[in-house]
Amino acid sequence: MSKQVQAQIRCPNCNHQFEATLYFSIWIEYPENRKLIFDDKINVVTCSACKSKTKLPFPFLCTNVKEKIAVWYEPYPDADVEKDVQQYVKHTGPNSFYATAPRIRDWNAFKEKIVELEQRTGMRQAAEWSPEMREKFQGFVQSLKKKQDLRPAKPVAEVINYKPGAYCQIKLASRERVLISCAQTGIKIVKLGLGGLIPTKTIAEWPVAQIEAAILIFADESKPTQHPLDAIKNKLTLCSSVREIEQLCKGC
């Protein structure tokens, strides 16, 4: 359960004192809880006298147990946070995701860290496409007309990292790096910076509902059973730069 605490608050606007309930931990596998954070509405209190709203810099832990994500928002060094961390070390081991949860001081950096961890687990879990998605893909490919592919067959890029069905990192001839990720939610191509460590730009994105658009660009009609990730990988390794990929993705 999300953990809440009662606190005495003094309104910064009118000095009125009132009691409010604050989150000390919150489960973000529940979308409404996650939204509280991303809408900047968590631990926002309304003064009972003057009705002004204040966002309190109160530390709390957000977790998604299913995805093994835990991140602290700790705007100032806090003894209760420290105590909780020690409890987690004791009860879940020093290497558990609870015990190693990052403690982040800055509010925006805190939210970015959550997104970063979610993307990482998303990639890890997107091992296979649903049969429904695969069928859609194959059905479409069979309806395409044969056309001559005049592009040179020789790849000019290097595959750095590849997990079948999930993701693929490519270093292009231009030395730029891109990451293709396939998840249940759709397909995404991003540009990576810092030697492949950080996504710096979304080049193209297709939610599941728009997957045909991606198929139209990347499908290889001679290999109708090919996984979409492989189809995209094969086409992108023929591109020499991010600019070329952008043009390819815009082409349809």
* Nearer Cβ to Zn ion (48/161): 48
Shortest approach of Zn ion to residue 53 CB, angstroms? Answer: 10
Pick between residue 9 and residue 168 the one whose CB is nearest to Zn ion.
Answer: 9
Nearer to Zn ion, 18 or 97 (CB): 18
Provide, rounded to whole angstroms, the least separation between the CB of residue 47 and Zn ion: 3
Which of 17, 101, 102, 10 has its CA nearest to residue 56? 10
Residue 2, helix vs strand vs coil? coil
Report the C-alpha gap between 28 and 41 in whole angstroms: 14
Q: Minimum distance between the CB of residue 51 and Zn ion, rounded to whole angstroms? A: 7
Q: Which residues bind Zn ion (CB under 5 A)?
A: 11, 13-14, 16, 47, 49-50
Q: What's the min distance (Å) between Cβ of 76 and Zn ion?
A: 23
What residue type is assigned to position 187 of the chain? I
Q: How far apart are CA 139 and CA 77, in angstroms?
A: 57
Q: Kindly report the backbone phi and psi dihedral angles of residue 24, in degrees, each rounded to the nearest multiple of 5, phi listed first.
A: -105, -20
CA dihedral 97, 121, 241, 218 (to 10 degrees): 170
